[in-house]
Structure 1
Amino acid sequence: MAATAHPLMVGHALHSPSTRYTILEFIGEGTFGKVAKCRAHNSSKLVAVKILKSQYFQNVEDELSVLKTISSLNADHFNLVTFYEQFEYLGYKCLVFELLDVDLLNLVRSLNINSIRPIAKQLMVALQGLKAVKIIHNDIKPDNIMMVNIDDSSFSVKLIDFGVASPISEAMTGTIIQAIGFRAPEICLGLPYSGAIDMWGVGCTLAFLFLNGSLFPVECEYLMV
């Protein structure tokens, strides 16, 4: 049974077997827990630590399995977030990733074709890498694509959040995945699906960047269809 989680605040340190991570600020929160910007004391490097609540421990085991699979890929070459380590501390499970800048949802501006083209190319390379290791991301949307450095004119991006990713072999007809508005037709209709649903997510994301808004309704799957 997991230990009772203690409240974490800015200034607290998370201890892993290799180092400790001091929480500088919380930069994201969801049903799973929080994401904290931390400083690693063994290197002074800034990292992002995903802190999971105990009720989501099974989810993190599934995510870890996917992360171990994609670790065979060169994360920088395939434009995937770099995963460093995982550990448990004070009743929390923590996943440590490289710190990126801002996700495409919060870029808060439409982009022209010349800016979107390199992002599209990088996402195609990311999908190529996932296909090589037979993984489906299952949740490609602007929130899950982050710019490495918003001030860099090259628009370098990386794909993040493998919390609902799965092996292609485990794709089950009828599974409800992907956010409404970025959900592929075969998921909406309960049909067999494959890694092609990630390509649909990429296409909807690129349209979002051009339109500065969603291509399809995001409140209702019926209206989307």
Structure 2
Amino acid sequence: RHIYCSLGRRDFGELVQCTHRETGEIFALKCIRKKFEDSYKQEEEVLQYVSSLNCDKNNLVKFREVFLYQDRIFIAFEKLDMTLMDFMRERNWKPLSIDEIRIIADQMLLALNSLKQAGLTHTNVTPENIMLVDHKSQPLRVKLIGFGKACLTSTLSERDIAVNCGYSAPEIVLDGRLDNSVDTWGLGCTLAFLSQGFHLYPTCDEYEYLRVIQFNMTDKDYDDLQMICVNPADRILPAEALHHTFFRSKITVTDSEIKTGGGDRTPDNVPPQDLKDDQQLIRLQTWSEIYRPNDKST
């Protein structure tokens, strides 16, 4: 193997781009520090499950192999392009259009549905853990990555799930009963980020986080925000979300539209279907105006 370049440092260690000397294949190599050996074993177990799920069809990163070298652990994955966070940064945080969000949401719901059917929970769905495959040749083709905190759903109650600022479901913060719906919450917050250009809950303070998600909404509001219902029992399942009216109209987005953020639209040039879609997402786009956090915490 030949190390090509560094792809950045993470909590676990470093991520580098490598080329296989025999096959010429380029892949991403996750270099894990020895002190994270226990978490690596859990990740390897999950990746073995993920590898059996038809990763291309279900929009999951492909796991290649695990090996040891000089007392360090290395996990090889297919090389992808950039995270959604980097993509938004490159766009100067300009929100994506409804059509673009639909395309990404559709793929990620397929990914979450495949994990749910396999009895797995990711627990850390964020813009940092969704990557564009190749934003030039395959616009908006994405895959779910970052399985370091994933686990069998049946073992969630035994895990110490770390809180991710602004993207962890309330029940994680409250040490409540956990299931796959924590992933739905993370995806809902991610889609809101893409539609606004800023984080839905921009705080790392757990008290403040719980305070701001206390809001009074009508039944109609919950119809439009089913992925981020505070009560996990009310959250829509990935399979159900895929049949929502939001996905009935399949849109092809061109590369030029992505670069410009989909273009400017007015009520005079928006098709009827898009107007309906806009109404379904409008509460996410104007979130700070539709909820009034209480002054007291529960």
Q: TM-score, normalised by structure 2?
A: 0.66
The answer on 1:56 being equivalent to 2:41 is no
| Alignment match, 1:181 | 166
| Alignment match, 2:16 | 36
The answer on 1:203 being equivalent to 2:188 is yes
Return the alpha-carbon distance in structure 1 between the equivalents of residues 67 and 33 of structure 2: 13
| Alignment match, 1:14 | none
| Alignment match, 2:231 | none
| Alignment match, 1:218 | 203
Structure with greater strand share of residues: 1
**RMSD (CA atoms):** 1.4
| Partner residue of 2:75 out of 79, 82, 95 | 95
| Alignment match, 2:149 | 164
| Alignment match, 1:122 | 107
| Alignment match, 2:59 | 79
Amino acid at match of 1:130: L
Return the alpha-carbon distance in structure 1 between the equivalents of residues 69 and 2 of structure 2: 13
How many equivalent residue pairs?
A: 205
Return the alpha-carbon distance in structure 2 between the equivalents of residues 174 and 143 of structure 1: 22
Amino acid at match of 1:191: G
Return the alpha-carbon distance in structure 2 between the equivalents of residues 156 and 76 of structure 1: 10
Q: TM-score, normalised by structure 1?
A: 0.87
Amino acid at match of 1:57: E
Question: Which of 164-173 and 93-102 deviates more?
Answer: 164-173
Relative to structure 1, the CA distance from residue 155 to residue 35 in structure 2 (aligned partners, 3 Å threshold; closer, same or farther) is same
Amino acid at match of 2:17: K
Any unmatched runs of 5+ in structure 1? 1-20
Q: Displaced runs of 4+ in structure 1, greater than 3 A?
A: 173-176
State whether residues 46 and 98 of structure 1, in contact with CA within 8 Å, keep that contact through their aligned partners in structure 2: yes
Structure with greater helix share of residues: 2
Return the alpha-carbon distance in structure 2 between the equivalents of residues 153 and 82 of structure 1: 17
1:133-192 deviations in Å (ceiling 9; x for gaps): 100001010000000011146410000011010101101178443412001011122210
| Alignment match, 2:140 | 155
Question: Which of 47-56 and 178-187 deviates more?
Answer: 178-187
Within-5 A mapping of 1:131-142: 131-142=116-127
| Alignment match, 1:7 | none
SS in 2 for 1:77: helix
SS in 2 for 1:214: coil
Return the alpha-carbon distance in structure 1 between the equivalents of residues 66 and 73 of structure 2: 7
Return the alpha-carbon distance in structure 2 between the equivalents of residues 83 and 218 of structure 1: 33
Q: Percent identity?
A: 36
Within-5 A mapping of 1:106-121: 106-107=86-87, 108=89, 109=93, 110-121=95-106
State whether residues 31 and 75 of structure 2, in contact with CA within 8 Å, keep that contact through their aligned partners in structure 1: yes
Amino acid at match of 1:94: F
Deviation at 1:58, TM superposition (A): 1.1
Return the alpha-carbon distance in structure 1 between the equivalents of residues 38 and 113 of structure 2: 28
Amino acid at match of 1:65: E
The answer on 1:104 being equivalent to 2:71 is no
Relative to structure 1, the CA distance from residue 184 to residue 152 in structure 2 (aligned partners, 3 Å threshold; closer, same or farther) is same
State whether residues 149 and 161 of structure 2, in contact with CA within 8 Å, keep that contact through their aligned partners in structure 1: no
Any unmatched runs of 5+ in structure 2? 211-298
Return the alpha-carbon distance in structure 1 between the equivalents of residues 158 and 29 of structure 2: 33
| Alignment match, 1:24 | 4
Amino acid at match of 1:118: I
